[in-house]
Amino acid sequence: MNRDVLFNSYIEEDELHEECGVFGIYDFDGGDVASTIYYGLFALQHRGQESCGIAVSDTNGPKRKVLSHKGMGLVNEVFTPEILEGMKGDIGVGHTRYSTAGSSTRENAQPLVLNYVKGTLALAHNGNLINANELREDLEYTGAIFQTTIDSEVIAYHIARERINCSSAEEAVKRACMKLKGAYALVVASPRKLIAARDPYGFKPLCIGKRDNCYIVTSETCALDTVGAEFIRNVLPGEVVTITPDKGIESDMSMALPKEQEARCIFEYIYFARPDSHIDGVSVYASRIKAGRFLAQDSPVEADLVTGVPESGNAAALGYSLESGIPYGTAFVKNSYVGRTFIKPKQSSRESSVQVKLNVLKEAVAGKRVIMIDDSIVRGTTSDRIVRMLREAGATEVHVRISSPPFLWPCYFGTDIPAREQLIAYNRSVEEICKIIGADSLGYLNIERLEEMSEGLPICKGCFTGKYPMEPPKEDIRGEYFDKESDLAKKQM
């Protein structure tokens, strides 16, 4: 995809995206797991809507036989009952993807399946590596031939290479992970083991569940709920977990950092995760309610109605209402059927892509002073249209409150926050942004409130402060649409 096409697609879609959702399962009783993976991925669809895939194998069958299917589109577009019925196996992994590094093509869909001298490997990865180019070059100069442009394949190759020189698959995963810099939540199916690993900072979430005699590792607890599994615990930052019938859950914490150095992505709580999930023991819904309460305390305004921009703004709007006493109400109707296949209108067309996705309930806002809560403002192109829609529906005032601080820096760890020059908050005051989006007032969440949202868990705030848990990469790793000459590459921690 060329630079202009990619750039335009991001300009039109003024929303944040996460990279992936992962799901792994091992049925110790030997039952087929493909349909369970399907429903798990369905619960994780919000984490990636470009592509998806499933890979399964039979632990009692031939070592090198892995059945896999993947494709572009939503889970229910890629898989049919007939496809799932043909996927026989008691261990497997699944993946939903949104690309932040590597183009959006079928070749880059996951899981990745490798056949090598020790058997097979099926891998699903969530996150971004900041040293992927370096690791890739090391492999290429020793003869490796890559089929994709994603860093997940780099991880898979390094695991396979390490496996040749050590006694177990889990040791190979750990040795490979020790070479990685950046964010990763991995689920790996070897011929007889389900292995999970989380980077030492804990950027991306990963948890373990159990249903009958099945063990599951997945990105969010909502996927466990969907398949009727009981939450057991989280995979800890820096932990490698191995699950087998003989030994159950085994843990290796040799990669762990001191607790205070951990750095979970705060946007799991603000936006990415489903509100019915718990991330590292903290309720996502409760975090968003808190954010709304904090906004009401720190940025109060007189109004008649508080409303949220669906879906991630709703809980924060309720929190604002509870704290302020201003009634909460629904002002927007969202078209639930607008997904990956939505064709954005051309600029010359009268239809607005925002209005195709959202419509305003005129009866709810006409003649009222409205407080509109959203999770973030990236470029501002969506916010100004939504404010305009509220005014055209009869709102007398529109006050915008954002349940995150202003974006000032890009992200290198799996969130598609673009280069600084494309961010509306770059070199602009809150007052200037307010004028651009056409609101009567604008308030952001105070950055000091973020730790309260995460109940004191160590978090990454790099996209707000420019201070990252590790030194940022010296070269662009995320695609052509990012500015390789950004002064971020020169900024030190």
Q: Are the beta carbons of 211 and 225 closer than 8 angstroms? A: no
Average the pLDDT over each of 94-103, 236-245, 365-374 and give the range with the smallest value: 94-103
Residue 39: is its pLDDT beyond 50?
Answer: yes
Catalytic pick among 20, 52, 177, 411: 20
pLDDT in tens, 253-278: 999 999 999 999 999 999 999 999 99
pLDDT of residue 152: 87
Residue 476: is its pLDDT beyond 60?
Answer: no
Q: How confident is the model at residue 146 (pLDDT cuts 50, 70, 90)?
A: confident
pLDDT of residue 14: 61
Residue 58: is its pLDDT beyond 80?
Answer: yes
**Please, which residues bridge with residue 194 across strands?**
189, 243
pLDDT of residue 349: 53
Helices 430-437 & 381-392 angle (0-180, nearest 10): 50
What mean pLDDT is predicted for residues 49-73? 92
As annotated, the residues of the chain forming the CATH 3.40.50.2020 domain(s) are 278-490
As annotated, the residues of the chain forming the CATH 3.60.20.10 domain(s) are 16-262
Q: Tell me which amino acid residue 43 is.
A: A
Q: Are the beta carbons of 30 and 60 closer than 8 angstroms? A: yes
What is the token pair recorded at 128? Answer: 């971004």
pLDDT of residue 62: 81
End-to-end Cα distance, the chain: 33
Higher pLDDT residue, 337 or 158?
158
Count CA within 13 A, CB hemisphere, residue 98.
Answer: 20
pLDDT in tens, 326-345: 999 999 998 876 654 444 55
What mean pLDDT is predicted for residues 300-325? 96
Hey, what long-range contacts does 144-152 have (CB within 8 A, 24 or more apart)? 147/107, 148/102, 148/107, 148/108, 148/112, 149/102, 149/103, 149/107, 149/108, 150/99, 150/101, 150/102, 150/108, 150/110, 151/101, 151/102, 151/125, 151/182, 151/477, 152/110, 152/112, 152/123, 152/124, 152/125
Residue 154: is its pLDDT beyond 50?
Answer: yes
Collapsed DSSP state (helix, strand, coil) of residue 278: strand
**pTM to 2 decimal places:** 0.89
Q: How confident is the model at residue 137 (pLDDT cuts 50, 70, 90)?
A: confident
Helices 151-164 & 169-177 angle (0-180, nearest 10): 130
Higher pLDDT residue, 472 or 145?
472
- Give, as one character, the DSSP assignment of residue 182: B
Instruction: Write down how long the chain is.
Output: 493
Q: How confident is the model at residue 472 (pLDDT cuts 50, 70, 90)?
A: confident
Alpha-carbon gap, residue 352 to 37, rounded angstroms = 36
What is the token pair recorded at 148? Answer: 């994709």
pLDDT of residue 346: 56
As a whole-number percent, the residues of the chain with pLDDT over 90 amount to 73
- Give, as one character, the DSSP assignment of residue 4: H
Q: How confident is the model at residue 86 (pLDDT cuts 50, 70, 90)?
A: very high
Residue 477: is its pLDDT beyond 80?
Answer: no
CA nearest 183: which of 295, 263, 79? 263
Name, in order, each residue with C-beta under 8 angstroms of 84's C-beta and a sequence gap of 6 or more: 34, 35, 38, 54
Higher pLDDT residue, 348 or 354?
354
pLDDT in tens, 122-134: 999 999 999 988 8
Instruction: Give kind and range of the element (H or E) at residue 41.
Output: helix 34-43
Q: How confident is the model at residue 488 (pLDDT cuts 50, 70, 90)?
A: very low
Q: What DSSP line would sit under 342-403, residue for residue?
A: --PPPTTSS--HHHHHEEE-HHHHTT-EEEEEES--SSSHHHHHHHHHHHHTT-SEEEEEES
What is the token pair recorded at 448? Answer: 């000091």
Alpha-carbon gap, residue 156 to 223, rounded angstroms = 24
Q: What is the mean pLDDT of the chain?
A: 88
Which CATH number fits the domain 16-262, given the four candidates 3.40.710.10, 3.30.470.10, 3.60.20.10, 2.40.30.10?
Answer: 3.60.20.10
pLDDT of residue 19: 65
pLDDT in tens, 384-432: 999 999 999 999 999 999 999 999 998 888 777 778 888 999 999 999 9
Whether omega for the bond prior to residue 258 falls within 30 degrees of 0, making it cis, is no
Residue 100: is its pLDDT beyond 60?
Answer: no
What mean pLDDT is predicted for residues 469-475? 82
Does the domain formed by 278-490 have CATH 3.40.190.10? no
pLDDT of residue 124: 96
Q: Are the beta carbons of 255 and 240 closer than 8 angstroms? A: yes
pLDDT of residue 479: 46
Q: What DSSP line would sit under 114-166, residue for residue?
A: EEETTEEEEEEEES-BSSHHHHHHHHHTTT---S-SSHHHHHHHHHHHHHHTS
Higher pLDDT residue, 304 or 1?
304
**Is there a catalytic annotation at residue 177?**
no
